[in-house]
Structure 1
Amino acid sequence: MAVAGDPDNPMVFYFGACAGGVWKTIDGGVYWRCVSDGYFTSASVGALAVARSDSNVIYAGTGESTIRGDVSYGDGVYGSTDAGRSWTHLGLKETRHIGKICIHPHDPDIVYVAALGDAFGPNEERGVFRSKDGGKTWQKILYRNSDAGAVDISMDPNNPRILFATVWQTRRSFWNLSSGGPGSGIFRSLDGGDTWEELSGLNGLPGGVLGKIGVSVSEAKCGRVYALLEAEGDKIGLYRTDDYGDRWVQISQNRDLMHRPFYYTHVFADPTHADTVYVTNLQMWKSTDGGESFTEVNTPHDDNHDLWIDPLQSQADDRRQ
């Protein structure tokens, strides 16, 4: 499932259900209405993004990347240019499971899709895809192999040429899940996705067998990036860099951040406070010291998948601290 907020109206949110389409609220969650019925031919939604430069533009990626045994696959990407009133299928049908979508902060037609691909077998339509024309055409810009697909991507809003993406080698069957392998890794692009370099095993990041990886670039502090890694032994945990990945430090080995990593492994940098970072797992966790310690955030339900941070609420929290 996925959630995204309107950058211009703090009362407007969109929710993508694991098997129930896209829903919209205009009153802060009091009432929700399904806006994808009649347009989507796939019920499962794995990723949502609303353009900062034009909140009428929304992209939805179908198929969850949280691949439990009962996971549903999707049929690619859908887009709306009228705030969810209508939708158009934009292709990438065989990506099947989409983990994340990010949009250029100044151009709503430039969009990136992190596609896991078929969770149940090898396929070629996986990796990071980029469109420069609002989804009319797509280019595969990061590809590992037919067994490993992209599961997360994060852009620096202050410099949208800087991107971090993670690739996960995994295979789901109805009786087993294999997570990790030589295809997993974390990658960086400094030119908007034209070229990529692998960072795994370099400058403080662990090598060896890696599994699922979450990544989040801080908007509040240039150079800061958080990465949550499923790795071997004591290499598992939260890592941080303050120079866009040239040097990394393991900040936390807290196992509460990494239960069932194949299902979670999501990290979110606060957009207004550099040392505040959130991790969603069996509980929701918040750190205000750059990831060194975490406190539990009480939530109505303890199965936390995704998070949209309201900058106004974040500023209010900072004032109370």
Structure 2
Amino acid sequence: MENAEMQVTWNLEPLPHFPMQASPARESVTYRMRDRDVAIGIIFLIQTLAGVSGNSYLMYNYLSLYFKERQLKAKDLILMHLTLANFLTLFCKGVPQTMEAFGIKCSPSDSGYRLLFYLHRVGRGVSFGSTCLSSVFQAITIRPKHSSWAGIKIKAPQLIIPFIYLTWILSLLVNTDILEHMTGSLCHTNITHPTDLRYHSSFPWEEPGEMLHVIYVTLPDAACMVLMLWASGSMLLILHRHKQRMQHMPRSKVSSRSPPETRATQTILLLVSTFVCFYTLSSLFTIYLMFLLDPGWWIVNATGVFSMGFSCLSPFLLMRHSPSSSMFCCTWTKNRKSSLIS
């Protein structure tokens, strides 16, 4: 009997506990996900900081010119509104994306999500319209004085302000449906599910008026794209004809430096090309995302990078080639030297 009791006691003793060890494969996957999130966060951070710095410099440039001369040229006024639209894109898209990538928790209300995405779309629309307006205005400006566009060339500077206001009004009105149909979240600490980290728009694709809704949303963009392509083609043709005329002139009469109109046209062409490139990539990725129920991590973040590419690069293109920016830098340098001498 005693042996039996001893046997029972022996069987009831707890088994030795061996702690569970994480699988090396699982740990490597976790660390790899953390590394790539940090990497994309750094990319978003660099984009946002560079874009904000460049656009801040341009805005300071235009405001200084305005307070100094009490007015801005039509081209500078367009580019100032483009800079303001870039600010909207960077603050309403770049800052939240950077916070998401680094896992920083923010919890605005559902109306806050909608407002941020709405302002981002408004900034994108104004950026589109301002780029289109600058290309069309430059195409009209560089035309010969005795051409059939002479009357429009004289009136064009007076029509810039109404068209800028029209661009803002259309962008505010066209994107109002986002405030009704957008669902989703903005910032989460759990960054392992990329579908939870971006804005999502759920439009009624199966309703009878779906085609009218698509046309209503895309018509302004399509019209601006057609105008930009026409203006760019016209500018290229005018520059080509000008170059041909310069080749037939004696070298003694040809200046080694391009005239300001040519440099300004080249800047606008470069700006339009950059915009079309980023806009096309961003649109293709966005359309692809709309038809995916579970998009991958890379396509979600690539869409975010492309959507902010133009707002980040455009101020540096303008600073490098814009005559107004160069004039401001020269004026600041001369004032600096005169103050040092005195």
User: What is the TM-score when the length of structure 1 is the normalising length?
Assistant: 0.29
- Structure-2-length-normalised TM-score: 0.28
